[in-house]
Amino acid sequence: MERDALTKEADQLHAEICAALADPRRIVALYVLAEKPRSVNELAADLGLTPSAASRHLKVLRERGLVQAERRGVSVEYRLCDTRLIDALDLLRSVLRDELAHRASLMTPPSPNNLTPNKKKETKR
């Protein structure tokens, strides 16, 4: 019974992380924060967002444990909690890239060389 509860809790945490990644701006924010810690204003400028919009995205990421806030004097800096998140995002991008390439190959018309079936040359005996 305890294992079921742990599994449900892990599934819930997994779903919460996925929900945090549902907005592409938050994914980009994670990549930007992986480069170096940033304040809300710096992140907003890097993402082309208002500071309030950047702050809302950071709140979601912080609540899900993906970023952490650290006070630096009068400013608060945000940093990525675990660089493995970037590894996971890169892996997902690789899977998506392969899927897009596969879909593109299905849309590509066959070349003229591939239109006729290959015929074996007959040998005379």
At 53-91, the pLDDT tens digits run 999 999 999 999 999 999 989 999 999 999 999 999 999
Give pLDDT, residue 113.
66
Give pLDDT, residue 2.
77
CATH code for the domain of 18: 1.10.10.10
Per-residue H/E/C for 5-49: HHHHHHHHHHHHHHHHCCCHHHHHHHHHHHHCCEEHHHHHHHHCC
Q: Which structural domain range is residue 62 located in? A: 2-81
User: What are the tokens at 82?
Assistant: 């675990």
pLDDT tens string 17-36: 999 999 999 999 999 999 99
Give pLDDT, residue 6.
85
Classify residue 87: in a domain, yes or no.
no
CA-to-CA distance for 18 and 23, rounded, in angstroms? 10
Classify residue 62: in a domain, yes or no.
yes
**What total of structural domains would you count in the chain?**
1
